[in-house]
């Protein structure tokens, strides 16, 4: 099974100056778990539900915390033609829960650990 078989293709983007309150609202209303962060049209990071959860645990005011303060700046990407085993290995090696799926310098999707686990369960039963 390949990454392209299980990845999510509807990738959200957020401006680098968005607040975590904006992020949370977007995730709750649209069922998302991550967004690519952009500055002047260029991707500069990724923000996830984990970042929001950490801010809540620290007692931060989500309206005051900006995406650029908490985003992951090292983007880990994978080809859509990679296997889900390769995706899992890359997640473990880089200690990330999601990979951006990239082809020809364009982000075409996101694959999460949950996507991989669901795919493995579906094949088993």
pLDDT along the chain (125 residues), means of 10: 93 93 90 90 91 95 96 94 96 95 93 92 70
Q: Flag whether the pTM goes above 0.95.
A: no
Tokens 């049209």 belong to residue: 41
- Cβ neighbors of 87 (< 8 A, separation 6 or more) are 3, 78, 99, 111, 116
Q: How far apart are CA 31 and CA 18, in angstroms?
A: 18
In this predicted structure, what is the pLDDT of residue 51?
A: 93
Instruction: Answer for the pair 71, 48: CB distance below 8 angstroms, yes or no.
Output: no
In this predicted structure, what is the pLDDT of residue 124?
A: 59
Q: How far apart are CA 100 and CA 124, in angstroms?
A: 26
In this predicted structure, what is the pLDDT of residue 120?
A: 87
């Amino acid at each position: 099974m390949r990454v392209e078989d299980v990845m999510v293709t509807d990738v959200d983007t957020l401006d680098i100056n968005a607040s975590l309150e904006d992020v949370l609202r977007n995730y709750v209303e649209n069922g998302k778990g991550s967004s690519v962060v952009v500055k002047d049209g260029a991707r500069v990071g990724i923000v996830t539900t984990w970042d929001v959860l950490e801010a809540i645990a620290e007692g931060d005011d989500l309206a005051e915390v900006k995406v650029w303060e908490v985003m992951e700046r090292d983007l880990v990407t994978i080809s859509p033609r990679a296997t889900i085993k390769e995706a899992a290995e890359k997640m473990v090696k880089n200690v990330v829960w999601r990979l951006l799926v990239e082809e020809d310098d364009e982000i075409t999707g996101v694959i999460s650990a949950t996507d991989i686990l669901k795919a493995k369960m579906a094949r088993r039963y």
